Structure formats: structure tokens, C-alpha cells
Homo-oligomer: A and B are copies of this chain.
Amino acid sequence: MKKYLLAPGPTPVPEKILQVMAEPMVHHRTPAFKEKVGKAIEGLKYIFQTKNDVLIFSSSGSGAMEGAISNVLNPGDKAIIIRGGKFGERWGEIAEKFGVQPLYIDIEWGTAVDPADVEKLLKENPDVKGVYTQLTETSTCSVQPVKELGEIVSKTDTLLVIDAISGLGGQEFYMDDWKVDICVAGSQKGLMLPPGHAYAAVSEKAWKVIDECKQPNYYFDWKKYRKKLATNTDPFTGSVLHVKGLLVAIDMIKERGLENMFYQYRVLGKAVRAAAEALGLEVYAHPSCDVATAVKVPESVDGLALVKILRDKYGFTIAGGQAPIKGKIFRIAHMGYIEMFDIISVISALEIVLHELGWEFKWGAGLTAAQEIFAKEYKF
């Protein structure tokens, strides 16, 4: 059976990236490899839309999240953390592990924070060192108002720290224009690579804070990585394969153009939402992000079975819900190497499985709604 991967990470890896990763192993300290690292960093700057330093880590995205706390905040320091999903909670877990004093703004899962709430809390606590949130919250498929937060936070001494692990390269984002100080990302989402690489872009304002931070760390000691930028080396033996794959991914993204990619995923998202509504289903997040869509599972339908049947009977790996919304939503990714006809295919499979599970709807309604949007708006 043919397999389709439409989960919000890992996403499908293009064949030509896999091919380059399957070439014979090379040493990581040769001039030829250092040149590749330098090019990869330049390419990442384009994708982050930044002139800032970009660091590469061999780890999951969570390793970069840890670094964005352990390099910035000392025990007892205050940080505003916006929690509206599993990854907002992760910022909180890491902060608490490192003895940080978190000021939580808890928002309903699947919604966006009101920037005015952040502004108010920041005024009441001018000693807050960082505001931590997500560009897109993978667990709910919501998008946060990063640009508006940048306007607010940049007027203060506080840093704006964004987890763009699932958003980078898919959801509209301009690090420098939006005045973001630290942005972390992962390889296995919009960048179309396998999991195992993580990235952090770091502003000068952030480096000043990092230089003063006393928190113990070693593998994720960002100052050590920064020092190695001059020679395009990794302080450790990093993932050679990911660097090679990343260069191909960067070429693919540059060829298409970042703006065009943002547009493409926006249209894919619109089509998924239209299909869901045409099938009588409700979109979970408001606002819904452009890189993945969460759809509520109707009460009469078994949400766990839906995801399982899609995978085991039809070959489609999508994602269910996590933690409090386990079984209550399903999530379809539309980022990275996912295009229009992948979405058509998964909607078809979804209709078939919903039908099997007893949900009533007009046969083909989802497909029709999606196709209508694609025919009008999708750019090939």
C-alpha cells in the first residue's frame, strides 16, 4: 500500500534530499564541508528573514527551546509565557526546570493571545526578561500575533522569543521586520528534512542578555556555537547528513520563493478548512494557522479510530489530538513537501473513513469544496 505522510512533523522528505543524504559519509572538519555549513547558515538567514546569527544544533527542536531559556534566563528571572497548547506548556516546563519565575498567560487552547494582555503584564513587570510564545502552536494549529507582539516587546528591554518549529518556512514570518529577538526552528517541518536538526536565530539585543547569563549548560551553550560561526564549524560532531540535505532544501525554497510558499500553504489551509466545513465538521483553531489544520471530531465519531483507520487501512498518516484534546481533533499538515494533490488525496481518504464511521455528509462535498478553492487560487 502506498503511504502518505500528512502529520505536522515529520513531514515528507523530497526524494532529492534523501538522495543527497544517502551519499558516502564525509568528514565534518574538511574545508569542503565547512563551506557547506557556511552556505547552510546563509540559506537559513533567508528563511528566517534575518541578518542575525543563526546557530545549528544536532538535536530535536526542543533542544533549541531549552537553549532559548537556559542561555537567557537565570534562576529567579521572570518570563512571560503564553500557554495555549502543548508547546506553550513546554516553554513553561523548561522555564520551571531552570528555576525561572514564569508569568503565565493562559489562553483557551486553539486561540491567539490578545497582545494587549501581554502589554499590560509587561508594564506591570518591567523586569521580565523574555516573552515566550509560538509562531504556530503545532498541538492546536493556531497562529499567534507575533508581529503585534514584536511592536510591543521591542519598545522594552525584554526579549521576544518565538518557537517557530512548525511555522518556519510555511507560516508568514519576517524575523527582523517583526522585531523578534530569538527564533527557534526544527528540521522536520517546513524545511522538509528528517528530524534531528534544530536552529536558532539570535539578535544582538539577545546576545547581550545571553552574554550575562550564568545558567549552567554545555551542549546547548549558545556562546560556544557563536564562536564557531567564524570558521563555519560545529563545536561538536554535528549531523553531516542534515547539513547536506539542508542545502538542497534551501535551494528548493529559494527557487520557489518564500512569499510564494507562504501563499501556497495559505491556500492549502483554506482548502482544508473549506473541505471540513463542507463535510459538516468544525475547524478547531481560531485563527487557524497556514501550516496545519486541526478539525474537531464530531461527538458521534471515534476520533482515535479515525486516525488509526486512515493510517492502517488507507496509508495516510495524519495526527490526532494530544493531552486534553486527545481523540477530539485530527490534524492535517500542509507544509513542506505537501502540495495540492496530497490534500485532495487526504480529503478523499477522510471522506471514506468518516463514512465508515457513520458520519453523514454529501459524498464528495469535501473534495468539491477544496478543488473549487484550488482551481481559483492555487498557483502551480
* A interface residues, Cβ below 8 angstroms from B: 3, 5, 7, 9-13, 18-19, 21-28, 30, 58-63, 66, 70, 93-94, 97-99, 186, 188, 194-196, 215-221, 234-242, 311, 317
Contacts of A60 in B (CB 8 A): 58, 219, 234, 236-238
In the bound complex, CA of A65 to CA of B234 (Å): 16
Q: In the complex, are the beta carbons of B63 and A219 less than 8 A apart? A: yes
Interchain CB contact under 8 A, A195 and B10? no
Check if B219 sits within 8 Å of A216, measured CB to CB: no
B30–A24 contact, CB under 8 A? no
Complex alpha-carbon distance, A188 and B22, angstroms? 15
* Pair A58/B13 contact, Cβ less than 8 Å: no
**Could you pull out 19 A-B pairs where Cβ atoms are within 8 angstroms?**
A9-B237, A10-B27, A10-B28, A13-B24, A18-B23, A18-B24, A28-B195, A58-B58, A60-B238, A61-B237, A70-B218, A93-B218, A97-B217, A97-B221, A194-B239, A195-B239, A196-B240, A196-B241, A196-B242
B21 near A219 with CB under 8 A, answer no
A319 to chain B, nearest CB (A): 8
CB neighbours of A22 from chain B (8 A): 18-19, 21-22
Q: A99-B216, A196-B240 are in contact. List 5 more A-B contacts (CB 8 A).
A: A10-B27, A12-B25, A97-B216, A188-B237, A216-B216
> Closest Cβ of chain B: how far from A317's Cβ, in Å?
5
Contacts of A216 in B (CB 8 A): 70, 97-99, 215-216
B residues less than 8 Å from A195 (CB atoms): 28, 58, 237-240
* Complex Cα gap A21–B241 (Å): 10
- Give A215 Cβ to nearest chain B Cβ, in Å: 8
Min distance, Cβ A302 to any Cβ of chain B, angstroms: 18
CB distance from A24 to the nearest CB of B (A): 7
Residues on B with C-beta less than 8 A from A13 are 24-25
Interface centre among A7, A60, A98, A240, by most B CB within 10 Å?
A60
Give Cα A59 to B195, complex, Å.
Answer: 11
- Tell me which of B30, B98, B99, B218 contacts A66 (CB under 8 A): B218
Which B residues touch A12, using CB under 8 A?
24-25
Contacts of A97 in B (CB 8 A): 216-218, 221
Which chain B residues border A235 with CB–CB below 8 Å? 62
B contact residues around A240 at 8 Å (CB): 10, 194-196
Task: Looking at the assembled complex, report how far the CB atom of A188 sits from the nearest CB atom of chain B, in whole angstroms.
Answer: 6
CB distance from A219 to the nearest CB of B (A): 4
List the B side residues contacting A217 at CB < 8 Å.
97
Residues in B with CB closer than 8 Å to A221 are 97
Query: Shortest Cβ distance from A323 into chain B, in angstroms?
Result: 14
A70 to B242 CA separation, bound complex (whole angstroms): 27
Contact residues in B for A25 (Cβ distance below 8 Å): 5, 10-13, 188, 194
